[in-house]
Structure formats: structure tokens, C-alpha cells
Amino acid sequence: MRSWTTRWLSRALHQNWQAASATAENKPRTYSRFISVVSGFPKNLAQSKYKPGKMGDDAWFIANTKTADVLGVADGVGGWRSYGIDPGEFSMVLMRSCERLVKFSRFDPIKPVSLIASGFRELQDNRKCILGSSTACIVVFNREDSSIYTANIGDSGFIIVRKGEIVHRSEEQQHYFNTPFQLSLPPPGHTDVLSDSPESANTTTFPVCNGDVILVATDGVFDNVPIKLLVDTLQRVEGENDQVKLQMCANSIALMARSLSFDSKFLSPFSQNARRNNINAMGGKPDDITVVLATVAL
């Protein structure tokens, strides 16, 4: 597994570094901004072909305008695979639609839920019939007021660390255990599929400070890495402007999540949550892993 992990990480880092660097170069250095990097793995390394902006059934994007920086992640619902539907296509097209809307400034930086809604409408109107479901989390840094505006639907999410403590975080949305809120476009005849509206997303606003660390990730991270371990790792890059050091931190989190997800003897956050729901579980939860990491530079 180690050789596959190394090969995947090397290829992914090369592409992700190019994307993050291109995004950074588009902004004058005097702008308040996010300094962002990406890391992650698909659950099935040997069976996955690398595509920029995609980690297995997960998808992500980083984009910016003159007024805002935007981070996004989405997690395709894997259950559709048994119906012959690629779960990763829905999440990838959703994130690409959101990215395109940002790049053409067709969004309101203080209303990220509208960005999700517009991206979802593009899915619905797509000439190719895109089927499936996905969670989604968008974090927007608005330069005008140095605040972030967020929208989260499902169990992907974000945390903000300042001085070694979580000062703001997303709220997980679940219908019931391991069944998150999700945007859905089911095949004809599937009337019993969970389908939440973009407007059901939890939205927040929070003023950020110089040096704050922001982690946006899919549940492959939060289900496997204890929150204290995440905070301990993130506080090491508070105030860090060096993308290389940020990339090392993101890689560390992704590798931790992957290692713990396959540890059958580890009492993971997912297993603890299962036990709270009267399910006798042990071990990590193998899953796709996406880590988008940013620091705030004011």
C-alpha cells in the first residue's frame, strides 16, 4: 500500500501545487487573502485514476476574485455505485460549477449558500444527465470585511484554529447516524431518495484574524482523526505564509486520516459516534480523504 500511497501523493501534490500556486499568483501580494494548499487520497488507490480537483468520490476547488477567496469540498454518496452510477461525477461537476461561477464573479461573497444553489441548478440543467448525491461545504473569505461566510450541507465541514483552540466550526447535519444531508438528483422512479435543498445548508459568518488556520475537509478526515490531534497539528502552522510548510501540514493530516481509517483496533471518532447510537463498532472508517488547508494573511 505504501508504494501506491507514495505514487498517488507525488502526482496529486504536483497538480495541486500548480493549482494553488496559479491561484495565489492571480492576486496582488498586498491583498488580504487565504494562502491555500490541498492534499488527500481516494479510498481505493489502486483503482482510482487521478483527476485534478478529485479524490475518489470527493471533489474540491480553490478559486478567487478581486474581492474574495473561496474554498469548497464535496463528498459523493458512494451508495449510488450499486446502481451503476459514478458517485464521484456528481460531486466533481458540482464543485467545477461552483468554481466557474466564482471565477466569472457570478456569486455573492456573503451568500455562499447561493453559490451552492447556483452550482446545483447547473447540475440540474446539464445536457448530460448527472445523477447521484453529494454533501457540500463552501468557505468564502470576503476581503471587504475580513470575515468568512460559510455554507455547509451534510457531514463535510470546517474548523478554524486560533492560538491552539477552535474558535469556529461547522455543524454536522445528519438525518440519522451515517446519513448526512445531501443534494440529490436520483434516477427516474427513485422517489424515496433523501434530497435536501441547498437552502437547508447551515450558514455562518465569522470575523477572522491574521494567522488563523482554516481546515475544510470531507468526513474521511473528521471520522478518523480525533479533533485534539487535528488542533495540535493545525496550531503548528498558525501565522504560516510558506506554502511548502502548509503543504507538509496538509499532507500530514491526510496521511494520518488514511492510516487511522484502516486501523481496525483504533477507536475512531466514527466508532465513538456509532456507539453513541447503540452500534457496536471499532476501528477507523475507510473513505476518500480531502484536506483543503489555508491560513489567513491580512
Q: Kindly report the pTM of this predicted structure.
A: 0.92
* Amino acid 96: pLDDT: 98
Q: Where are the domains of the chain?
A: 35-297
* Amino acid 21: pLDDT: 55
* Amino acid 216: pLDDT: 99
pLDDT in tens, 212-227: 999 999 999 999 999 9
In SS3 terms, the chain reads as CHHHHHHHHHHHHHHHHHHHHHHHHCCCCCCCEEEEEEEEECCCHHHCCCECCEECCEEEEEEECCCEEEEEEEEECHHHHHHCCCHHHHHHHHHHHHHHHHHCCCCCCCCHHHHHHHHHHHHHHCCCCCCEEEEEEEEEEECCCCEEEEEEECCCEEEEEECCEEEEECCCCEEECCEECCEEECCCCCCCCCCCCHHHCEEEEEECCCCCEEEEECHHHHCCCCHHHHHHHHHHHCCCCCHHHHHHHHHHHHHHHHHHHCCCCCECHHHHHHHHCCCCCCECCCCCEEEEEEEEEC
* Amino acid 22: pLDDT: 54
Show the low-confidence residues of the chain (pLDDT under 50).
Answer: 27-28
pLDDT in tens, 165-187: 999 999 999 999 999 999 999 99
Task: Tell me the CATH class for 35-297.
Answer: alpha beta
